[in-house]
Amino acid sequence: MNLPDPSALAERAHSALARCGAEWPTGNLTARTPITGTEIRTLEQHSADDVNGAVAAAHDAFGDWRTVPAPIRGAVVRQLGRLLSEHKTDLAELVTLEAGKISSEALGEVQEMIDICEFAVGLSRQLYGRTMPSERPGHRLMETWHPIGVVGVISAFNFPVAVWSWNTAIALVCGDTVVWKPSETTPLTALACHTLLRRALADCDAPRGVHQLVIGGRDVGAALVDNPQVALVSATGSVRMGREVAPRVAARFGRSLLELGGNNGAVVTPSADLDLAVRGIVFSAAGTAGQRCTSLRRLIVHESIADELVARISAAYAQLQVGNPFDDGVLVGPLINDAAFEAMQSALTAAQSSGGTVVCGGERVGDTGCYVRPALVRMPKQSEIMHTETFAPILYVVTYNEFDDAIALHNAVPQGLSSSIFTLDQREAERFLAADGSDCGIANVNIGTSGAEIGGAFGGEKDTGGGRESGSDAWKAYMRRATNTINYSDQLPLAQGVEFG
């Protein structure tokens, strides 16, 4: 495997940051690249006191920002979108360097930021409330939506910029201010995006304090979660992390928006177009080296087609080129670190202990970085290891006979993010989307589990946390609702016919 010189990667990162105008003091936080497992540069990280200062500054800025008309707030997001487009290549290069995504996926992630900016600009003129009929003559009922305050965003390494943009673009047009804590694994992408947003704010004469960046580990995240001036904590990460965040935010009566584990499944029925299914399955399972929250991890296949489908997937896996994500033709880049590889090996061992057979993959590639071939595992039944999400490219295959059994197998895990079914039978497709079908927040027909568009609300149920980000009416999570009663008569009738006096 041909990997670049580590010093060349460091230089690429420095150049991309410089083109974005980013500057940050050096310190004791080391930014590494999974491409070679080596250091890119060091950065200064924040303390808990720094976090509280950033929240205070954002809270002060909120006092002015909330009174700016929403379409004017949208102009800031429009300018951010322009700057993201201008620096699309630079940002994608940083995503590849820090997260290990192949170039097309990195460019796609930056495009997702541009798309959500366009969505949010339109939303800035559509923060609608309802008008309802009153039971009292001469009265009108209506609802209005107002900014909620400071939004704390905690993002994960696997989508280092897209998830931030989902939250930030929507929060800004809603009139909120933002404090962002990125993964300490991907601080450089965060620094570049923060710099571009600060520039957009300055270009539009908006307060600089509207957006704050805090870099550090769990202590920095804890300070953000516990700060009473943070009205909403939007956190993306593991179920373990969510179980810590949710009660701490609730204890101070704050709001939380959680995007946690996936462990997604797909059902393949006898009527499925297998050519289509194989393409959707392979990208969903092996794309981003299996490190998406929407990655496909469980395949539930009708027993009549299981052997053929497994053979086709195995053949497709054999053609996947694993290596330097900057190289043309490479489809699978590195895992984020050695811990991810060790978790993958532990999961494969557990699967084999439960009677599973590794059809292909699972072995490490090369001795630099953390590259691995996607694994395909045939399981006799859905065992305990399949109920646990492993953030690595493992695809478990189990079979079913009756369609009801397929639904039961699919829904038997604690997580409920994304799901799909491959079928040409309309009844099966509609059943999968019905109330007694998939229990996930995302349910697809004849496409894989990954690759969500920004127009729809993104999020899941059960251990996934229940939050919704991005499109549809997800904006309501970032605002507070007020119900208003207006009496335009000269009488004062009481509701429910109550008489007093």
The CA distance from 370 to 305, in Å, is 34
Q: What does the block give as tokens for 474?
A: 């997800």
Question: Of the listed 93, 98, 105, 259, which one is catalytic?
Answer: 259
Note if 293 is an active site residue: yes
**Residue whose C-alpha is closest to residue 156's, from 266, 52, 245:** 245
Nearest to 241 by CA among 260, 225, 220: 260
Task: Provide the β-strand partners of residue 179.
Answer: 152, 212
Other CB atoms within 10 A of residue 144 CB: 14
Structural tokens at position 393: 């490219």
| DSSP per-residue string spanning 34-52 | TTTTEEEEEE----HHHHH
Catalytic residue among 293, 428, 440, 469: 293
φ/ψ (deg, to 5) at 42: -110, 155
Catalytic residue check, 259: yes
Q: What is the DSSP string of 128-182?
A: ---EEE-SSTTEEEEEEEEE--EEEEE--SSSTTHHHHHHHHHHHHHT-EEEEE-
Task: Compute the half-sphere exposure of residue 332: CA atoms within 13 Å on the CB side of its CA.
Answer: 30
| Angle separating helix axes 162-174 and 103-123, nearest 10 degrees | 10
Residue holding tokens 């478990």?
396
CB 215 within 8 A of CB 29: yes
Q: DSSP string spanning 323-388? A: S-TTSTT--B---SSHHHHHHHHHHHHHHHHTT-EEEE---EESSSS-EE--EEEE-SS--GGGGS
Task: For the chain, give the number of residues.
Answer: 501
Pairing of strands 139-147, 131-133: antiparallel
Residues with a catalytic annotation lie at 259, 293
